Structure 1
Amino acid sequence: MINIALQGAEFFAYHGFYPEEQKIGCRFLVDVNVGFVPPGDLLEDNLSKTVDYERVYIIVCEEMKHPRKLIETVGQSIIDRIKKKYPFAESIEVTIKKLTPPLSGKVAHSAVIINYKKS
């Protein structure tokens, strides 16, 4: 199995349950790990035989642009799109961190981690 990863992709987005969060926005960090068995010989040196992390980044960018109340929803949408683009993906983990969430005390970030494993 091979894994590709994006770590610490940073976005300013408007996700949040409270209307103020959807108006003022917040910074987010996104990590994505995709485990897969190549659908062919990697020695062919062909991008179609692997998961293209540039395409994964584009998927994340597009999903982060759509405001949602729950970052869980954003994470699941990212996973669903990666599964569709790369049906040979065996596992996908998406972590979304909301930096300085609006809480009553100082918190570096809140986070959701969503995992997918092909059955």
Structure 2
Amino acid sequence: MFVQTVALRDVKFKAFHGFYPEEQLIGSHFLVDVEVTFTPNIDTENLNVTVNYEEINAILTNAMKQTQKLLETVVKIIIDHIIQKYPFIQTATVGIKKMNPPMPGEVGCSFVQLSFKAI
């Protein structure tokens, strides 16, 4: 059996997610990674029977526009939309890095990831 992977890496966004009000005012830079796996269809040239990474990018863009206090909420929204759009996927993993989070010290990024596995 074959398993196909479709992924987007380091998709850059300026967004306003954050627990503190000032984070929601000034915004931050984020990098988003998404990876899904599924059993590929025989018709490998048909976008209607595969995961279209352009549509995955649209899901990311819409989710990143909706300000949330926690990145945990954002990754869950993204995975829920991917599962709804592509109910045949076997796994999905979404990770979001908040670049230079506002905290003491030189922190390159904070990172939240959520994974889904079909039963």
Moved over 4 A (4+): none
Aligned to 1:31: 33
Aligned to 2:55: 55
Paired residue type of 1:24: I
Gaps of 5+ in 2: none
State the aligned residue count: 117
Paired residue type of 2:55: R
Identity of aligned residues (%): 47
Aligned to 1:65: 65
**SS of residue paired to 1:87:** coil
**CA-to-aligned-CA distance 1:60-116 (integer Å, 9 cap, x gap):** 000000000001100000000000000001100001000000011110000001000
Aligned to 2:81: 81
Residue 42 (structure 1) shift: 2.7
Picking from 5, 8, 24, the partner of 2:7 is: 5
Paired residue type of 2:91: S
Residue 46 (structure 1) shift: 0.6
**SS of residue paired to 1:88:** coil
Paired residue type of 2:99: L
**Aligned-residue CA RMSD (Å):** 0.8
Q: Distance in 2 between matches of 1:105 and 1:95?
A: 23
**SS of residue paired to 2:57:** helix
Q: Distance in 2 between matches of 1:93 and 1:111?
A: 13
Superposition TM-score, scaled by structure 1 size: 0.96
Residue 41 (structure 1) shift: 1.5
CA contact (8 A) 1:31 1:94 kept: yes
Gaps of 5+ in 1: none
Q: Distance in 1 between matches of 2:43 and 2:116?
A: 24
**CA-to-aligned-CA distance 1:22-55 (integer Å, 9 cap, x gap):** 01100000000010113x3234x11112100000
- Find out whether 1:15 has 2:17 as its counterpart: yes
Q: Distance in 2 between matches of 1:100 and 1:115?
A: 24
Aligned to 1:95: 95
